[in-house]
Amino acid sequence: MMGNDDEQLQEELHWTPGKKSPWRSTPRGATAIMAMGGVLMLAMWGVTMTLVGSARDLAAVGVFLVMGLEGLVALGIARSLWRAMGPVARGIIRPLMVLGPLPPLAVLCCTSLALVQALNPQAGFVSRGKNWGIPLRGGSVRFSEVQALCSKLGSQWRIPSEDEVARLDPPPPVGRNSTHTNYWLLPAPGTSPAEDVFLAVSCLGPRCSTDILRQARRPSGDGENAGAALCVNF
């Protein structure tokens, strides 16, 4: 058994794809190495984007160079891990590679994304300040939809009231590719129930201003007022 594993291991570590060889002929250990290398490369790419900011900052040539280098490093690490994990672990993993590297790679990627969503405090936000956040898919919504979006962020998140605007730190920005955004607010006591209340943010170049905007409430349905979602956790 050990000798058979050693032979398989050597074949898997030194396997290279042929031009006309079908994927079914790929050693399952080599498939596992490719899957692990893919996950490691995605992880390294995520770290790179965290440090750099965005792919645009690398330019096209830089993206290909960085991804190529990270791919080579990831495959090297994957081969070392495959060699180090021992014959028992390899014997368990090999049968799982019967469909090629894509199914396990997809499972591992989905699991990694779920962990990132759970552990990353920025997950679920388009933008975030010290005590506020702009939720995903909250760019143009009705008032009835805002609280549902805030609740998805956690039990402590809610719609800010008109009296709490001065506590927003820092003031929220305008939406992407826009110079003006209206954020939904809870009206202050005494406000007419026939009015919807918004925090209007306007920017002209680097200078931005905020104001309280009141609009006549429209009937429920397609004519209902729409604004951007803003959630706070005071």
C-alpha 33/C-alpha 150 separation (Å) is 42
When mean pLDDT is compared across 18-32, 75-89, 158-172, the lowest value belongs to 18-32
- pLDDT grade for 1, boundaries at 50, 70 and 90: very low
Q: What is the pLDDT of residues 104-123, one digit of tens each?
A: 667 666 766 665 555 555 55
pLDDT at residue 155 in the model = 86
Q: What is the pLDDT of residues 143-174, one digit of tens each?
A: 989 989 999 888 899 999 999 999 999 999 99
Given 3-state DSSP classes, what are the helix, strand and coil percentages for the chain, each rounded to the nearest 5?
Answer: 50, 20, 35
String of DSSP letters for 130-148: SSEEEETT-SSB-HHHHHH
String of DSSP letters for 31-96: HHHHHHHHHHHHHHHHHHHHHH--GGGTHHHHHHHHHHHHHHHHHHHHHHHHHHTHHHHHHHHGGG
In the chain, the N- to C-terminal Cα span, in Å, equals: 63
| Whether the predicted pLDDT of 55 surpasses 90 | no
Contacts by 65-71 with C-beta closer than 8 Å and gap 24+?
67/41, 70/41, 70/44, 70/45, 71/37, 71/41
Using alpha carbons only, what angle is made at residue 126 by residues 120 and 127, rounded to the nearest 5 degrees?
85
Decide which of 185 and 70 is more confident: 185
- pLDDT grade for 36, boundaries at 50, 70 and 90: confident
C-alpha 164/C-alpha 181 separation (Å) is 18
Q: Of all residues in the chain, what percent carry a pLDDT higher than 90?
A: 32
Answer whether 2's CB lies under 8 Å from 87's CB.
yes
In sequence order, what are the beta bridge partners of 231?
Answer: 133
Decide which of 37 and 104 is more confident: 37
C-alpha 181/C-alpha 103 separation (Å) is 43
Q: Which SS3 state, helix, strand or coil, does residue 11 take? A: helix
Instruction: Give me the residue label for tokens 């984007």.
Output: 49
pLDDT at residue 120 in the model = 53
pLDDT at residue 217 in the model = 84
Instruction: Give me the residue label for tokens 């956790």.
Output: 233
